[in-house]
Amino acid sequence: MTVLIATSCGVDNSPDAEEAGRAQITTALNNAVRHGYPGAQAVITDNGHTWTATAGVADIATGEPFADDARLRIASNTKPFVATVMLQLVAEGKVELDAPVERYLPGVVHGPGIDGNRITIRNLLQHTSGLPEYAAEFGAPPKPGQLAGLTEQVRWGTTDIAEAIRNALTASADFEPGAQWAYSNTNYAIAGMVIEKITGNPIGTEITYRIIEPLGLRNTYYPSLDEIDIRGPHPKGYTEIGGARVDYTSQNVSWAGAAGAMVASGADLNHFFIALLDGKLLPPAQLAEMTNVRPTGVDTNWAYGLGLARITMSCGNELWGHTGGLSGTVTYDGVVPTTGRAVTIVLNQDLMDDRYHAGSRALDTAACSAP
């Protein structure tokens, strides 16, 4: 199934309509700031035209606002890129979705109640493997779409993902493969290992060659293993430690790997999701697999396919995309096919308490206001 993006026919793209939409979205961003976020940004792409709205600050010390082309750590929004690469390999006949992981990574996926002969590539991409969460060893267990907080050693050092997975798989399986849905970053860490084994290249190289370069995503990249800073213009990213807000912008995200290491701008994320859903990155059969969703059992408005979520908004519009968060940042992204609008919401502090819903409300406003 190809999810076609709507054309501009019958859509009001006048300056007055854009200003009205901008006002609604800015109000929602201001609400997020009132809930405690230092700053918030919406990047909107309507039928090829991209514009931004902001609230609060990108840097508390200087009061500087978000740059229109600001880059950010997109965390779990890395997963749709990884799933796309895997499905391209499926289309090329190099991977079978329903083949066991054991075929590609012999002896790797095993532990208490864990058998790589029974867990498929589909289970990994769909979060139905039952594998325990590897990111939990680096800090507090994550929420869906959010990677965990870091120890200081992990924040500054280079993580061996294979070792982290070995450690995680000493824990028991959460459930039988395919029995239910549960978000686990372990799925995508292993999916990245599969891609590397099949192609002989680092996952970042495959994402660059297969997606970033063909789409011309100039503000998107997969960091090298020793990078701690963000290239180009970017907001400061904050977190709370011991009740105090601290600058957490610099960090080594090698521990996040294929589950959440990438950096991108909002405009590039919009471009990626539009191209993906318009069939420019995957053949129809593989896009149909990606968009074949199942209920998560966690949120009735969420259904999950293969690295792609279908999120039902309060107005009934369906947004296809993902969310992501790690220490210092939260992002919400996706496309509403019926209107052609692509949305990225950026918050420069990680999810905490009641603030969790401020960002999702901003996403809802942007997805429901008329282009």
Q: Which residues are tagged catalytic?
A: 76
Element (H, E) at 355: none
| DSSP code of residue 8 | S
- If DSSP codes are grouped into helix, strand and coil, which group holds residue 353? helix
Beta bridge partners of residue 56, listed in sequence order? 39
Report the C-alpha gap between 313 and 311 in whole angstroms.
6
Contact 368, 315 (CB under 8 A): yes
Contact 342, 268 (CB under 8 A): no
> What is the phi-psi region of residue 24: left when phi exceeds 0, alpha when psi lies from -120 to 50, beta otherwise?
alpha
Residues 6+ apart with CB under 8 A from 346: 40, 41, 42, 43, 66, 70, 72, 235, 266, 329, 330, 331
Report the C-alpha gap between 95 and 102 in whole angstroms.
12
Contact 42, 70 (CB under 8 A): no
